[in-house]
Amino acid sequence: MKLITHNILMCNKKGCTKNNFPLRLVVKQYADYEADNAQEYSANLMTRLLEKLDWNALKITVATLPDWGIALPDAVTPELAKDEAFLQSLHMLLVRRQIIDGEMVCPNCERSYEIKNGIANMLLQEDEV
């Protein structure tokens, strides 16, 4: 699972409609796809993803993963959004890096969603719908 996907996921449990984003990300195992394998870098795609991205949520999440050693800028200025080096780095972080094993915990209801073999388990029980 990619960080871009984490950035779009809210808790979907019944009644949990507020403060249900971003899910707290716990990473047990991660890896980076080889450039040859991963979704190819595309400036227009990155620009688009950047528009959708909740930068604050990404910043908060990355801050909880100190061993990644990443310091994101406070905000994405219009100049930054056009900066090729910035977009390339973002591609690495959002697209090539994969969470293989871990979980996501709802900040509101504490429901935990497992990530196993890279697959996020968002499946609810019938009584959670």
Partner 1 sequence: MNHRPEQVAPADVFYGVDEAKKYTQNTRMIQIQRTITKRALQMLAIPKGQHRMILDIGCGSGISGSVLSQKGHMWVGMDISHAMLDVAAERGPEGGVEGDLIHSDMGHGFGYRAGTFDGAVSISALQWLCSAEKKAQNPYKRLNKFFSSLYACLIKGARCSFQFYPSGPEQVEMITSSAMKAGFTGGLIVDYPNSKKAKKYYLFLMAGYSEEIMQEAKTVIMPEAKTGSGDSEDESSEDDSDDEMDSDEEKEEDSEESEQEERIDVKGKQRKDFKKAFQKKVASLALPTKGIQKREKFGGKVKDRKWILRKKDRQRRQGKLVRPDTKYSGRKRPGSFF
Of 25, 54, 32, 31, residue with least CA distance to 115: 25
Comparing CB distances to partner 1, the nearer of 16 and 26 is 16
- The yes or no reply on residue 19 touching partner 1 (CB under 8 A) is no
Using the CB atoms, write b or e for 66-83: b if 16+ within 10 Å. Answer: eeeeeebeeebeeeeeee
Among 27, 61, 96, 104, contact with partner 1 (rule: CB under 8 A): 96
Q: How many CB atoms lie within 10 A of CB 25?
A: 21
Least CB distance to partner 1 at residue 94 (A): 9
- The yes or no reply on residue 40 touching partner 1 (CB under 8 A) is yes
Among 101, 105, 107, 118, contact with partner 1 (rule: CB under 8 A): 118
